[in-house]
């Protein structure tokens, strides 16, 4: 079995497996060349081109896992909310969901019909990888999807989302319930198409109070994870989650993703035994020279202290300004320093 899959199951590995969130993204010259000619959505809808992005990144970096080329917001587009990726400003949702009526009006979407290209991409990427490294599928968690749907795009404090969450809990639960069912179906479709591990991105959940997470988010995230085909490891990731780690573990996942704002050793002690950890180098560390990258990688490996189930990753995605050679230096350093 491949080291990445073993680590997801907390089995011993000869070295610590490493991959990077957003490893198939704008810091890669090959990706920028493709994007110069075509829009992001157009690329996602072309399974051959999207599979190629996945495979090119793996070949270039020497990482231990591949990630499907897609986006967490793609499943929202068929709801008719007007999803667009405008150059530079990140994603925009032109008709955001703001009221209980908006929530009630959202159509029930079947991913197999609405985003068949994602499953086709997964099939082709899996075939093209030819068993070299496992393929990771992914989706947004209900909270993070709802946050984008309500705000209409990214936000610093997610106040519109919180207004609905605290002010109209009935509508909030109805929305998250809908998104949880959609997400479970979407991930099960990816699993049927050949992804071997899934990552649930609750990127912005760290903006919540623990009590709000427990009552208004946790049941929905748990429903997604419990609705997945058995036997496929789940990585449950968020940023700014120092106050939520125990609750995220309660929601589920075989591996918990950590950002760089927590000490990996302390966080793992809090999570307790029986769970893996993914992380947690600051993406900005990759802007430093390779010697410094190596020093910080070693420090994180020391914090993991040989526990079973560590997957090395950044605490969030690769920054677009990152030199490719620095990413390669990180991957080599992790392999070399962790060899047992
Ligand atoms: O290597 C990979 O991880 C590829 C697949 C992937 C993308 N998006 C491609 C993408 C994954 C796993 C995502 C997840 C995603 N998308 C998240 C969760 C993780 C995170 O980074 O927080 C979120 C919040 C989104 C929503 C999203 N999509 C944003 C905020 C943006 C714009 C800003 C940015 O970071 O690029 C996107 C666009 C996007 N998704 C791009 C890529 C390669 C850039 C599009 C372009 O080429 O212009």
Structure token digits, residue 235:
């990585």
Taking the centre of ligand 1 as the mean of its atom positions, its distance from the CA of residue 53, in whole angstroms, is 13
Residue 297 to residue 198: CA distance in whole angstroms: 25
What is residue 88's predicted lDDT score, i.e. its pLDDT?
73
Which listed CATH number (3.20.20.210, 3.40.1110.10, 3.40.1260.10, 3.30.70.330) goes with 17-276?
A: 3.20.20.210
Q: What pTM does this model have?
A: 0.98
- Is residue 239 in contact with ligand 1, taking CB distance under 6 Å? no
- Is residue 72 in contact with ligand 1, taking CB distance under 6 Å? yes
- Which residue, by CA, sits nearest to atom 43 of ligand 1? 25
């010697």: which residue's tokens?
291
Residue 78 to residue 52: CA distance in whole angstroms: 25
Q: Is 168 helix (H, G, I), strand (E, B) or coil?
A: coil
- Is residue 203 in contact with ligand 1, taking CB distance under 6 Å? yes
What is residue 231's predicted lDDT score, i.e. its pLDDT?
97
Q: How far is CA 271 from CA 169, 203, 222, 225, 256, in A?
A: 29, 19, 16, 18, 9
CA nearest to 59, candidates 334, 324, 335, 247: 324
Cα torsion 279, 32, 41, 116: sign: negative
- Is residue 65 in contact with ligand 1, taking CB distance under 6 Å? no
What is residue 89's predicted lDDT score, i.e. its pLDDT?
76
What residues are annotated to the active site? 22, 26, 35, 71, 148
Residue 179 to residue 38: CA distance in whole angstroms: 29
Q: What is the CA radius of gyration of the chain?
A: 19
Q: Which atom of ligand 1 is nearest to the CA of 25?
A: 43
Residue 334 to residue 274: CA distance in whole angstroms: 23
What is residue 94's predicted lDDT score, i.e. its pLDDT?
96
In a structure prediction context, what are the per-residue pLDDT tens digits for the chain, which is 340 residues long? 999 999 999 999 999 999 999 999 999 999 999 999 999 999 999 999 999 999 999 999 999 999 999 999 999 999 999 999 987 778 999 999 999 999 999 999 999 999 999 999 999 999 999 999 999 999 999 999 999 999 999 999 999 999 999 999 999 999 999 999 999 999 999 999 999 999 999 999 999 999 999 999 999 999 999 999 999 999 999 999 999 999 999 999 999 999 999 999 999 999 999 999 999 999 999 999 999 999 999 999 999 999 999 999 999 999 999 999 999 999 999 999 999 9
Residue 160 to residue 152: CA distance in whole angstroms: 9
What is residue 271's predicted lDDT score, i.e. its pLDDT?
98
Which residues, 6 or more positions from 329, have their beta carbon under 8 angstroms from its beta carbon?
A: 290, 293, 294
Taking the centre of ligand 1 as the mean of its atom positions, its distance from the CA of residue 337, in whole angstroms, is 30
- Is residue 34 in contact with ligand 1, taking CB distance under 6 Å? no
Q: Show the DSSP H helices in 27-115 as ranges.
A: 29-37, 40-44, 47-61, 100-105, 111-114
- Is residue 151 in contact with ligand 1, taking CB distance under 6 Å? no
Residue ranges per structural domain of the chain: 17-276
- Which residue, by CA, sits nearest to atom 23 of ligand 1? 72
- Cβ count near 33 (within 10 Å): 9
Q: How far is CA 84 from CA 74, 152, 183, 248, in A?
A: 10, 10, 20, 30
Structure token digits, residue 166:
């605290």
Mutate to test the pocket of ligand 1, among 28, 30, 138, 317 (most ligand atoms within 8 A of CB): 317
What is residue 159's predicted lDDT score, i.e. its pLDDT?
98
What is residue 87's predicted lDDT score, i.e. its pLDDT?
73
Structure token digits, residue 134:
């496992």
Taking the centre of ligand 1 as the mean of its atom positions, its distance from the CA of residue 216, in whole angstroms, is 25
Residue 264 to residue 296: CA distance in whole angstroms: 12
């Amino acid at each position: 079995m491949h080291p990445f899959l073993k680590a997801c199951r907390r089995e011993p590995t000869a070295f610590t497996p490493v991959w990077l969130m957003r490893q198939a993204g704008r810091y890669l010259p090959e990706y920028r060349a493709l994007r110069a000619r075509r829009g992001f959505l157009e690329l996602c809808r072309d399974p051959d081109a999207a599979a190629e992005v996945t495979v090119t990144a793996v070949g270039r970096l020497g990482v231990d896992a591949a990630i499907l080329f897609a986006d967490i917001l793609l499943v929202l587009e068929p709801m008719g909310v007007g999803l667009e990726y405008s150059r530079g400003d990140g994603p925009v949702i032109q008709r955001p969901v703001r009221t209980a009526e908006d929530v009630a009006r959202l159509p029930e979407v079947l991913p197999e019909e609405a985003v068949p290209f994602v499953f086709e991409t997964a099939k082709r990427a899996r075939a093209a990888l030819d068993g070299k490294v496992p393929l990771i599928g992914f989706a947004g968690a209900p909270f993070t999807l709802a946050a984008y749907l309500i705000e209409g795009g990214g936000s610093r404090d997610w106040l519109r989302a919180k207004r609905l969450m605290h002010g109209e809990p009935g509508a909030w639960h109805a929305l998250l319930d809908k998104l949880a069912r959609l997400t479970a179906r979407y991930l099960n479709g990816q699993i049927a198409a050949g992804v071997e591990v899934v990552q649930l991105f609750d990127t912005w959940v760290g903006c919540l109070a623990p009590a709000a997470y427990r009552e208004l988010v946790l049941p929905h995230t748990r429903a997604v994870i419990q609705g997945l085909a058995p036997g496929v490891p789940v990585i449950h990731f968020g940023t700014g989650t120092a106050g939520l780690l125990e609750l995220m573990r309660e929601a589920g996942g075989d591996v918990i993703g950590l950002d760089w704002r927590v000490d990996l050793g302390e966080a793992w002690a809090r999570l307790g035994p029986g769970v893996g950890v993914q992380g947690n180098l600051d993406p900005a560390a990759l802007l430093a020279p390779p010697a410094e990258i190596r020093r910080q990688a070693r420090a994180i490996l020391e914090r993991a202290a040989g526990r079973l189930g560590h997957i090395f990753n950044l605490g969030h995605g690769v920054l677009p300004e990152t030199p490719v050679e620095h990413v390669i230096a990180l991957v080599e350093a992790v392999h070399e320093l962790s060899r047992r």
